[in-house]
């Protein structure tokens, strides 16, 4: 099946019956692999948008995250110089462009993931963000207009972007969500995009309209950031409230964590992506490239984002190697029953490294017929084979190259077959045979 036929053949998306991932109307699992083009729908030409989407389809992405309005922190207008609002009045002509961009996304079998109100509150640019400056009463008609206008598309709504929604701040967004989406249902997909390393679902997790838990692990590999991603709220909250749990903003490729530190390369991206896929029931993850997310027309710092380094032009950033690595990771997961995976750190008996960049992540199916282990550097690991079915077959997968090698272990001990990071897949022989017949 070509990706452009995805929605035609399988129907609209909804939350799975067990609440852990997305599925189509006919029950076919949907692996969320999003690319981040926040400014793309605002600043692209028609031809460039088509070129970009074709590239992302070819690399295996299944969703596109973008902003629906200007001004916001990183753009004051769209390419034509229009703004979405005159004061608080809606400018329908502005949204004609967004409509066409969403139509092009869906035409390629990609899920549209628009942010309806950017809500960041840092620096002087917070005045540009309607999600921050407007009250709930002012935002409700603006959000409702967008939802009603774009609801015919295949969409996962991000109600608000990059804001802090904890404590008393949650009241505003609960009021908006209830007004626009009502009681909610499993077929109207709604999420939030919180500020880095914040977890609003302690205060908002009981909202029925909010059925996808998006989060942002931040652009950092400092110890506290890695601890939050690997063993913090994303790795724990699903046990209390089952929702698709998706890292919508891990470290961006080529973005600098601070002015005096080097930019993140493809290896950091792979680590963040794999940890994110295995720290909760697997549902999906996002990727971002510096320069592409801002849709830069030249090498430059992103507007109102000083200190994060110079981002390349969007068409250069589009081809950074991490996007291909992430595409290969997605291809691997789609080749197995990824939706059955549940985190199980007890699967790893070998001692964890003190350096959290060497953290080994592990998930398995409840029946023990499938396990996926991410090993971020060359090492030997010891697996508690008693937690798995007997007779599993295994292979190593290198996300940087797509290379596969047979995995053999003695007494549950497995050694990576080379340098760099590897994914170890162990699965029952009948799973392999069934997939061969389907293929």
Give bridge partners of residue 278 from the DSSP assignment: none
CA neighbours within 13 Å on the CB side: how many for 362?
A: 23
CATH number at residue 330: 3.20.20.80
Q: What percent of the chain has pLDDT over 90?
A: 90
Q: pLDDT at residue 393 above 60?
A: yes
The reply to whether 274 and 391 lie within a common domain is no
The DSSP result for 352-388, as a single string, is PPSSGGG--EEEEETTSSEEEEEE-SS-EEEB-GGGS
198/408: higher pLDDT: 198
Q: pLDDT at residue 88 above 80?
A: no
The reply to whether 77 and 96 lie within a common domain is yes
Global pTM?
Answer: 0.97
- Please identify, among 304, 334, 364, the residue that sits at the C-terminal boundary of a domain: 334
The reply to whether 169 and 251 lie within a common domain is yes
Closest CA to 413 of 399, 424, 398: 424
Average pLDDT of the chain, as a whole number: 95
The reply to whether 347 and 323 lie within a common domain is no
Q: pLDDT at residue 432 above 70?
A: no
Instruction: Flag the least confident range among 302-316, 329-343, 402-416, 424-438.
Output: 424-438
Q: Rounded to whole angstroms, what are the CA distances from 22 to 5, 303, 305?
A: 17, 34, 33
- What does the pLDDT read at residue 380? 94
Count: domains in the chain: 2
Give me Rg for the CA atoms of the chain: 21
Contacts of residue 288, defined as CB under 8 A and 6 or more positions apart, other chains included, come to 35, 36, 249, 250, 252, 253, 255
Q: What is the 3-state secondary structure (H, E, C) of 37-64?
A: CCCHHHHCCHHHHHHHHHHHHHCCCCEE
The reply to whether 190 and 330 lie within a common domain is yes
The reply to whether 117 and 168 lie within a common domain is yes
The reply to whether 390 and 307 lie within a common domain is no
CATH number at residue 365: 2.60.40
Rounded Cα distance between 377 and 358, Å, is 6
Q: Which stretches of 233-360 are DSSP H helices?
A: 233-236, 266-278, 314-317, 321-334
Query: Tens digit of pLDDT for each residue in 241-286?
Result: 999 999 999 999 999 998 889 999 999 999 999 999 999 999 999 9
Across the range 58-71, mean pLDDT stands at 98
The reply to whether 255 and 108 lie within a common domain is yes
The reply to whether 73 and 155 lie within a common domain is yes
Query: Tens digit of pLDDT for each residue in 120-161?
Result: 999 889 999 999 999 999 999 999 999 999 999 999 999 999
Buried b (16+ CB within 10 A) or exposed e, 10-30: bbebbbbeeebbbbbeeeebb
Query: Tens digit of pLDDT for each residue in 20-57?
Result: 999 999 999 999 999 999 999 999 999 999 999 999 99
- Please identify, among 280, 305, 334, the residue that sits at the C-terminal boundary of a domain: 334
Which domain, by its residues, includes 396? 340-438
- Please identify, among 334, 354, 383, the residue that sits at the C-terminal boundary of a domain: 334
Map tokens 């720290």 to a residue: 279
């Amino acid at each position: 099946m070509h990706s452009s036929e995805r929605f035609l053949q399988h129907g609209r998306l909804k939350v799975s019956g067990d609440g852990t991932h997305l599925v189509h109307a006919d029950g076919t699992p949907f692996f969320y692999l999003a690319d981040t083009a926040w400014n793309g729908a605002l600043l692209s030409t028609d031809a460039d948008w088509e070129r970009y989407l074709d590239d992302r389809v070819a690399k295996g992405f299944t969703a596109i995250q973008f902003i629906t309005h200007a001004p916001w922190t990183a753009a004051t207008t769209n390419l034509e110089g229009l703004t979405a609002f005159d004061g608080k009045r809606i400018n329908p002509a502005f949204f004609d462009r967004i409509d066409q961009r969403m139509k092009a996304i869906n035409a390629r079998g990609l899920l549209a993931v628009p942010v309806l109100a950017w809500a960041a509150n840092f620096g002087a640019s917070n005045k540009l963000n309607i999600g921050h400056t407007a009250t709930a009463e002012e935002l409700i008609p603006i959000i409702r207009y967008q939802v009603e206008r774009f609801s015919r598309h295949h969409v996962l709504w991000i109600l608000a972007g990059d804001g802090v929604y904890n404590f008393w701040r949650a009241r505003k967004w609960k009021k908006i969500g209830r007004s626009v989406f009502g009681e909610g249902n499993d077929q109207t997909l709604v999420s939030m995009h919180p500020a880095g390393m914040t977890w609003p679902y302690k205060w908002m997790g009981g909202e029925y309209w909010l059925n996808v838990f998006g989060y942002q692990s931040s652009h950092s590999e400092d110890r506290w950031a890695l601890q939050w991603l690997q063993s913090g709220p994303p790795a724990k909250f699903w046990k209390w409230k089952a929702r698709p749990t998706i890292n919508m903003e891990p470290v961006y490729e080529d973005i600098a964590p601070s002015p005096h530190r080097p930019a993140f390369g493809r290896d950091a991206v792979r680590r963040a992506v794999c940890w994110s896929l295995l720290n909760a029931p697997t549902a999906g993850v996002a990727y971002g490239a510096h320069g592409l997310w801002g849709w830069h027309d030249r090498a430059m710092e992103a507007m109102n984002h000083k200190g994060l380094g110079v981002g390349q032009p969007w068409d250069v950033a589009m081809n950074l190697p991490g996007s291909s690595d992430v595409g290969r990771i997605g291809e691997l997961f789609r080749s197995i029953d990824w939706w059955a995976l549940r985190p199980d750190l007890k699967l790893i008996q070998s001692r964890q490294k003190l350096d959290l960049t060497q953290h080994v992540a592990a998930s398995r199916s409840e029946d023990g017929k499938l396990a996926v282990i991410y090993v971020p550097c060359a090492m030997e690991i010891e697996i508690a084979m008693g937690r798995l079915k007997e007779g599993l077959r295994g292979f190593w997968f290198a996300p940087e190259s797509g290379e596969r090698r047979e995995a053999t272990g003695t007494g549950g001990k497995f050694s990576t077959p080379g340098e760099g990071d590897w994914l170890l897949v162990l699965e029952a022989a009948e799973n392999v045979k069934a997939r061969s017949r389907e293929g």
